[in-house]
Structure 1
Amino acid sequence: MAKANCLLLRNLFIFFNLLFAIAGVVVFVLAVLVHFHLNANEFDRGNGVIGLYMVGSVTFLISFLGAYGALKNVKWMLVVFLVLMCLSCFTLLRFAMPLAILHPQVGLLQEEMENVGPLDKTSGDFQRIMGEFQSELFCCGLVNGYRDWNNNVPESCDCTTDEIMQDTCLPLPDNTLQEYYADIQLEVRSTRMVHKQPCGVIIVSKALDVILGVLFGFTTLAFLGIVMTCCLLAQRIKLGAVAKPSMIFSISSKPPKYSQLLEYK
């Protein structure tokens, strides 16, 4: 019965490490995709991409070490896996806890976002990404609303009729509106409504939610790995102790019973 339980735990442990390895491969592939979307200068500044490469590679190697050690019953591999999982759990918590504390204070990052400068002066790729965010998150600009676009507010900032009724929009000043419609010879007197909420705080908040989810998810997996490794090592030690023959040493001053041997003469 004990051997059956140990075999079940070992198979469950190997399956857990396969899932962990798949997670590492997914992170590595994500890093490759982001890498190909960056030019050389952006990659040199992209510490986040390098971090994804490292996390994906280390996760895969640790999971391979644990799965192979459990499959071949290599004790030192399981011990190394346990130590690495403890270090990983501590490191993940080290990054996750400050982010969890920072999450309610997203507004403090406004000064950093202001360094981006006017959005209409940024690269075409950045403007395209901002346009997608503005359409999906129903916001406009990064920090100061439509003012971040100067007089070139894109259509992705426009409000629909339903949004206007919900009081989430504000009218665009006439000078901005007139330049927007300068290509058509028409004197614009109507009011163009754009989203009131800036996108910066929303983007950072959602990004922190995703990062915290990933960190705490990996922390949970690491903790489960620690528990399962401890159980596997404990069962392995227990089975090893049962398998060893017990040697009993008896110290007695009484002589052996030779009378029993004499009966067979």
Structure 2
Amino acid sequence: MGTVNACVKRGYITVASLIAILSALLLAITLFTHGYFHEDEQIENVLPELQVMYATSLITILLVTTGLYGVCKRKKWMLICYIVGMTLCSMLLGVLGIHGATGRPKVIQDIKAHYLGVIPFSNASKEDIDGINDLQTDLQCCGMYQGYQDWGYNISEACLCVEDAVHPCVAAPRNSSLFENAKTDDPIMIYKEPCITYLADHILYALDVLLGVILGTLSLWVLSVVLCVVTLCQMNRKEDTPTVVYSPEAKAGNYSILLDDSELT
């Protein structure tokens, strides 16, 4: 069995240990998320994603443990298991990344179609109205497509501008519900822009961050597989042992005395 280069071995151990730490962090986040939604009615909606996160983190931790033990104890079959397992996981992660990158436009279309279906807001359900109000407060916007006009007469109070608003505001129409209890003639400022543009930008940003995390994780997994393959190849390499040849002339005491010509005369 050949000798493994120290730099290659240390590099593999470092990368594999980093993968193990990230996998343990993913498992902790999954457990926290599962506990957070445990008694929520939305647990059925996020349960498939949680199961994928559980499987990914646990399988990765198991493979990394196998690979680290194999490189430390010079077990070739463990390194082979790590290479095969991480290669399959990398292929699956790559497919998910490609699917996510190509599906970005469809996600935005589905979001727009969903909110287009709740207009006019007078016919929307309470859950949809509550969600839209949360968006208006968080994104500092009003309405979804045509601004405050989407609300008609009953403009939501979530459209009211705050003092440190970063998005443009406009005076609300005086024939709206906001002036029913007004005690002064001062204008009431509401957000001017609709929410759909800001919402689409936030979703695209979140998808880009997710794709970046997937790409970084995939690069780390591929690097660990390459280092593991190099390690396995070096372990399979035969060391060149010099051949020992016996010579009868190499006897103890078989030496010649070197003298000068002057000493011989």
- Which residue does the alignment assign to 2:94? 90
| Distance apart, 1:16 and its partner CA | 2.0
Gaps of 5+ in 2: 71-77, 249-265
Residues 1:79 and 2:78 aligned together: no
Alignment partners' CA distance in 2, 1:82 and 1:52: 21
Give the partner amino acid of 1:141: G
Distance between the aligned counterparts of 1:231 and 1:132, measured in 2?
49
Tell me the residue number matched to 1:236.
Answer: 232
Which of 5, 29, 35 aligns to 2:37? It is 35
- CA displacement at 1:129 relative to structure 2: 4.5
Task: Encode CA deviations 1:3-47: one digit per residue, 9 max, x unaligned.
Answer: 5324412321332222331343255246526634742xx555x3x
Distance 1:220 1:161 in 2: 40
Gaps of 5+ in 1: 249-259, 261-265
Q: Which SS does the other structure have where 2:37 is aligned?
A: helix
Correspondence for 1:64 = 61
Question: Residue 170 of structure 1: SS of its match in structure 2?
Answer: strand
| Structure 1 position 92, deviation (Å) | 2.7
Whole-Å separation in 1 of the counterparts to 2:193 and 2:164: 16
Query: Deviations along 1:101-131, whole A, 9 cap, x unmatched?
Result: x39x95785333211344464336x545543
1:18 aligns with 2:30: no
Deviation (angstroms), 1:78:
1.0
Deviation digits for residues 185-225 of structure 1 (CA, Å, limit 9, x no counterpart): x6764432211111122123212211221122122211221
Structure 2 vs 1, CA of residues 9 and 206 (structure 1 numbering), >3 Å: closer, same or farther? Answer: same
Decide which structure has the larger Cα Rg and report it.
Answer: 2
Greater helix share, 1 or 2? 1
Say whether the 8 Å CA contact 2:12–2:227 is kept in structure 1. no
TM-score by length of 1: 0.71
How far apart are 1:145 and its partner, in Å?
Answer: 1.9
State how far apart, in whole Å, the 2-side matches of 1:50 and 1:29 are.
12
Q: Distance in 1 between matches of 2:30 and 2:67?
A: 24
- Would the aligned equivalents of 1:21 and 1:64 in 2 still touch at CA under 8 Å? yes
Query: Quick one: which of 28, 49, 53 aligns to 2:50?
Result: 53
Q: Which has the higher contact order (CA 8 A, sep 6+)?
A: 2
Q: How does 1:1-265 map to 2 (within 5 A)?
A: 2-29=4-31, 31-32=33-34, 35-36=37-38, 38-39=40-41, 46=45, 49-73=46-70, 74-99=78-103, 102=105, 106=108, 110-119=112-121, 121-123=124-126, 127-160=129-162, 168-176=168-176, 179-182=177-180, 184=181, 189-242=185-238
Please give the alpha-carbon distance, in whole angstroms, between the structure 2 residues aligned to 1:31 and 1:72: 31
| Amino acid corresponding to residue 55 of structure 1 in structure 2 | V
Equivalent residue, structure 1, for 2:251: none
Over the matched positions of the two proteins, sequence identity in percent amounts to: 16
Q: Residue by residue, what CA displacement relative to the aligned partner does 1:55-85 show, whole Å, maximum 9, x if unpaired?
A: 3123213321331122221123212223223
In the comparison of the two structures, how many residue pairs are matched?
Answer: 238
Q: Deviations 1:121-173 (Å, cap 9, x if unpaired)?
A: 4336x54554343233221122332233343323331125676xx99223322
